Structure 1
Amino acid sequence: MRHQCAHSTLLDEGNLARFAELDVIAEFSPVGWFPSEFTIGARSSFGERLQEAYNVRGVLDAGGVTVMGTDWPVSSIDPWFGFETLVTRENPRGEMEGKLGRSITPQEAIRMLTLNGAYAMGCEDVSGSITAGKTADLIVLDRNLLEIDAKGNWHKSQVHLTMVDGEIVHDPKGWMQGTDFESRITSPVPDFTPVDI
């Protein structure tokens, strides 16, 4: 595995280029970035620097590699809220207006969760992209992320098919039922919805 700087919360502008220079990956957990009562409260000590927090755009512009985490179990393991926030920097649920920080493009966000994730684990030669000769690790969604507005939509994405190393492991629509590709896994997907105690 390659060296990573976890969370990368407040980065000094002078250090942005060092990620590329030192070959250190900047890991971000965008689930806590968007304007919300939690973010404003938990980051109140940041003051005006709150707009500079989680500077993915700055690391990318300086040539660095970035990846996304969910910060689970502190936050939800569901990656979709953070994924949408990378592109919008807004509250996916619409609970609070405004933006925090600078956005990245949908293509950059997708790369963070695919090829960059594989690179961070040292397996980019066999995973992370749909390329001949690599493992078929992929999902089929209910929408084309590049044809819709990310705001308010990406976090509602539903996975209709999941393949790991070329094997169907999740087929809720039963598309492959009765074929040679039918999933051997029949147990339901765990519910990771947070429970209030």
Structure 2
Amino acid sequence: MGAGIGLANGFGQLGQFAFNQPVVAVCGDSTFFHAAIPGLINARFNNSNVLMVVLDNGGTAMTGFQPHPGSGTDALGRPAPVVEIEAICKAIGVEVRVRDPFEVDQAIEELYDMLQDGGAKVMVFRRKCFLIESREKAKPRVFVDPEKCIGDECGCARFCSRVFNCPGIIWDQEAKRAKIDEVVCTGCGVCATLCPQGAIIVEEG
């Protein structure tokens, strides 16, 4: 709820005591607007070595997807001015980058790159929540191609079902293959980009 950036501000000052671990604070887009901005200003003012990661999914997810200043609509669903997170960061004077988190390799590379720099900086991972998108368009169908999935022979230690650990991916004990739970799956398709065998298929609705 916004406390992370305040704590990170302090941890980011510990370099003078030989503390050289990366300091990362994480918050959602709604929390950024209602609680995290003062902490980010303090991090900038004190030149703390901290990376703030903002998970921007387009709504206040924890309480029912109410709009916030960055949503573009007000509480009654009427159009409202969009307050951009990156514009606020630039006004404060911190480096800010925006990345689609579903572009996994690029997101990891850019996040690592930002951790190499000193001072306060912000990475915004922006992707509309699929629960919101599902209200606007048909959900894609995601399934495992049994001809391509080779189970434990894949050599990835069941990365899809055990490591990636999405609740929409389960392990079929009888078939010894990964399987998509179509009730739980939101259709985001991230798993398809990570499968080394290309066995997870996404069909647009």
**TM superposition score normalised by structure 1:** 0.31
Bigger strand fraction: 2
Bigger helix fraction: 2
- Bigger radius of gyration: 2
**TM superposition score normalised by structure 2:** 0.31
